[in-house]
Structure 1
Amino acid sequence: MKICVVGLGKIGLPLAVQFAAKGHTVLGADVAEPTVRTVNEGQVPFPGEADLDVKLKEAVSAGLLTATTGTAAAVAASEVVVVVVPLFVDGDGVPDFGWMESATRDIARGLRPGTLVSYETTLPVGTTRDRWAPLLRDGSGLVAGEDFDLVFSPERVLTGRVFADLRKYPKLVGGVTAASAARGVAFYQAVLDFDERADLARPNGVWDLGSAEAAELAKLAETTYRDVNIGLANQFARYADTLGIDVDVVIDACNTQPYSHIHRPGIAVGGHCIPVYPRLYLWNDPDATVVRSAREANAAMPAYAVDLLAAALGDLTGRVVLVLGAAYRGGVKETAFSGVFPVVAELRRRGAVPYVSDPMFSDAELTALGLPAWAGGPADAAIVQADHAEYRGLTPEALPGVRVLVDGRRVTDPARLPGIRRLVIGG
């Protein structure tokens, strides 16, 4: 097949490479000229994705993957179009469809009869049928489900392990018609590889969920569940702190029962998914009080971590506090909705002098993010915000002057920190 992937970001580019690895001809379309140039050179434009560097070089060298800024022309030359363009949400939870609308208009200009269009970006329920189908019709004169096929098929992968996750999890598809869904299922069966699974009650492969709306809700529901679960764990942790109980021991005990799957508490919930998709769900279902309460509980955790520090250290005015980790999670060079920003803001609000250090970011990169880079020297306290592997071996020598450390991720080893008072959330 000839496939166009619109959006060569941290999900779109690995998808394009995956399709090329199956022998298909792929045109990757992106509005960023530097990204297009880098991809055409066989170079990865962002770090941290396992195996992408090797697979990308192979695809480009074989002539199976080419990048372009001409989306409409790429669509016109393709049988299948896969859309992985970012959708943003503002502070009030209102989705900003701007980038996706622009991409959809470009797709419409090149759309031909018989094409399959698959949206993979997570969307509010109803968006594929009620927003994208009319926009594609207005720009092309073609009707979804009649002149071309239209499906929603959510990405279900994590950055850093996209290829492994593509093999591991069922691929969900929902169409605007049954015929569109069948075409979508056949497409993904042809371009993906799946690990063998012994659990026949939950077979791997491609699943037709019956409608685009069901597939949209499935993605929102699975991610919102995680946010609600973490919110509950954080509530348990805060209560455990009042009792002097280690909540980790409690959660371990609970999860030996097969119906209990409590997640772990922590200083922040970051990334492109978990902090965002519950708000997309709330946009559809504003009466979902459980979802709203969990989101509020998780958003309050950075300030709670600073509360723990203040309770141990006293007045924070003028105190130098080192925040360890700008990334939203360990091993990933990404700061989307990272807890570092509210932690730094809360420290400043209380009069502290915060600095940030992260093994994946240079001082210049931290400064560009509006974060005060640590130049070394003594600090009064430290807060672990990201669970980088490097922090497992932290010692007092790496933390000169630090008397109190709040480990928001339980990644440090207390045996390695003699003389430092180590606090954890729910400990």
Structure 2
Amino acid sequence: MNVCVVGLGKIGLPLAVQFCGKGHRVVGADVDERVVDLVNAGEEPFPGEKDLDVRLKEAVHSGLLSATRDTTAAVAGSDVVVVVVPLYVDAEGAPDFASMDAATQAVARGLRPGTLVSYETTHPVGTTRNRWGPMLESGSGLTAGLDFHLVFSPERVLTGRVFADLRRYPKLVGGICERSAEHGVAFYESALDFDTRPMLKKPNGVWDLGSTEAAELAKLAETTYRDVNIALANQFARFAARRGIDVARVIEACNTQPYSQIHQPGIAVGGHCIPVYPQIYLWGDPDASVVRAAREANAAMPAYVVGMLEAAYGELSGAHVLVLGVAYRGGVKESAFSGVFPTVARLRELGATAYVADPLFSTGEIAAMGLKPWQGEPVTAAIVQADHLEYRMLGAEDLPGVRVLVDGRRVTAPERWRGVRRLVIGA
């Protein structure tokens, strides 16, 4: 089939490459001229996605993948359109539909009868049917479910391992009608590879959830669950610390029972998904008090960790503190909603000079984020914000002069920090 992928970001581009790997001819559409030029040259616009560099070159050189800024023209020549444009939220947690509206309007102008349109961008329940459907109909003159097919199929992958996750998890699909769902299931069955080993707990493949609303809720529910679970772990950790209990041993013990799956506490919850999607859920369900409390609890953790440092170190005004880790997750060069920002902000509020280092980011990149890159200046305290593997080997000799280390991820080795007061969350 001819496929148009709208949005060549960290999810959209790997998806486009995956579709090419199954023999489909794909045109990727993006508003960023730099991204379009790099893709057409067979070069990654962003680093860190496993196997993308090789598979992208193969797709481009085979003639199966090209990129354009003209979304409407790309849609007009396609049998399937997959939309993976980011949806943002404002400071109050309300969705900002501007980018998605613009993309949908461009799709509508090129829409032909018989086309399947699949939205993979996470959004509030009911958006596919009540917002995108009418917008596509208005811009095309066609009727959803009759002249073209419309589904929602959430992305369920993590950056850095997209191709593996596409094989690992069932692909969820929900249509605005039965015929739309049938077309959505057939497309994804033809476009993805699945791990079908018999030892899997659940059958893999494409699952029709019965409606776009069910598929939308499934995405919001699975990500919101993680935020709530982490918040619970953080609450346990804060209580355990007050009582002199090591929460890590408690959680390990609890999780030997199959009904307990407590996550790990930590300094922050970052990334494009977990801090954002609970807010999108709350926008549609403002009475969800458990979700709201969890979001607030996790958002408070960076300040809590700085408080741990202050209690152990003393007055932080004038102190030079090194924050280790820009990335929101270890091994991934991504800073979206990273805990580094509220951590540094709180340190600055208390009068400390906050330096920042990360093995994945250059000093220029760190400075461009409004952070002060560490270039070997003397520091007397440190906070571990990201669980990079490199920090497992870090020790007191690497940071001479440091008196207190707060490891917000439990990634450092205690024996390497003799002579330094080392603190962890929940102990």
Which TM-score band (shorter chain)? over 0.9
Output the CA distance in 2 between the equivalents of 1:160 and 1:154.
Answer: 18
Partner of 2:44: helix, strand, or coil? coil
| 2:26 maps to amino acid | V
> Cα deviation per residue 1:120-152 (whole Å; 9 max; x = unaligned)?
000100000000001101110111101100000
The equivalences for 1:38-77 within 5 A come to 38-77=38-77
1:201 deviates by 6.0
Match of 1:411 in 2: 411
Output the CA distance in 1 between the equivalents of 2:407 and 2:91.
Answer: 27
Partner of 1:379: helix, strand, or coil? coil
Output the CA distance in 1 between the equivalents of 2:295 and 2:388.
Answer: 24
Partner of 1:26: helix, strand, or coil? strand
| 1:243 maps to amino acid | R
1:199 deviates by 4.8
1:197 deviates by 3.2
The equivalences for 1:165-176 within 5 A come to 165-176=165-176
**Alignment check: 8 A CA contact 1:377 1:400 kept:** no
Match of 2:36 in 1: 36
Output the CA distance in 2 between the equivalents of 1:261 and 1:268.
Answer: 19
Q: How many residue pairs are counted as aligned between the two chains?
A: 427
Q: Cα distance 1:416–1:200, how it changes in 2: closer, same or farther (>3 A)?
A: closer
1:126 aligns with 2:122: no
Partner of 1:226: helix, strand, or coil? helix
1:331 aligns with 2:331: yes
Q: Which runs of 5+ in 2 are unaligned?
A: none
The equivalences for 1:64-143 within 5 A come to 64-143=64-143
The equivalences for 1:139-158 within 5 A come to 139-158=139-158
TM-score by length of 2: 0.99
Output the CA distance in 2 between the equivalents of 1:294 and 1:231.
Answer: 5
Runs of 4+ in 1 over 3 A off after TM superposition: none
Output the CA distance in 2 between the equivalents of 1:232 and 1:196.
Answer: 34
> Cα deviation per residue 1:260-318 (whole Å; 9 max; x = unaligned)?
00000000000000000000000010000000000000000000000100110011110
**Alignment check: 8 A CA contact 1:80 1:116 kept:** yes
Stretch moving more, 191-200 or 215-224: 191-200
Match of 2:303 in 1: 303
1:327 deviates by 0.7
1:375 deviates by 1.5
1:385 aligns with 2:375: no
| 1:288 maps to amino acid | A
Stretch moving more, 396-405 or 125-134: 396-405
1:62 deviates by 0.3
Partner of 2:113: helix, strand, or coil? coil
> Cα deviation per residue 1:27-73 (whole Å; 9 max; x = unaligned)?
00000000000000000000100000000000000000000001000
Q: Which runs of 5+ in 1 are unaligned?
A: none
Output the CA distance in 1 between the equivalents of 2:27 and 2:398.
Answer: 48
Output the CA distance in 1 between the equivalents of 2:84 and 2:284.
Answer: 21
| 1:246 maps to amino acid | D
TM-score by length of 1: 0.99
1:204 aligns with 2:204: yes
**Alignment check: 8 A CA contact 1:125 1:216 kept:** yes
Q: Cα distance 1:416–1:201, how it changes in 2: closer, same or farther (>3 A)?
A: closer
Output the CA distance in 2 between the equivalents of 1:189 and 1:89.
Answer: 32
| 1:147 maps to amino acid | D
1:377 deviates by 2.4
Q: Cα distance 1:205–1:420, how it changes in 2: closer, same or farther (>3 A)?
A: same
1:3 aligns with 2:3: yes
| 2:91 maps to amino acid | G
RMSD value over aligned CA atoms?
0.7
Partner of 1:67: helix, strand, or coil? strand
Match of 1:223 in 2: 223
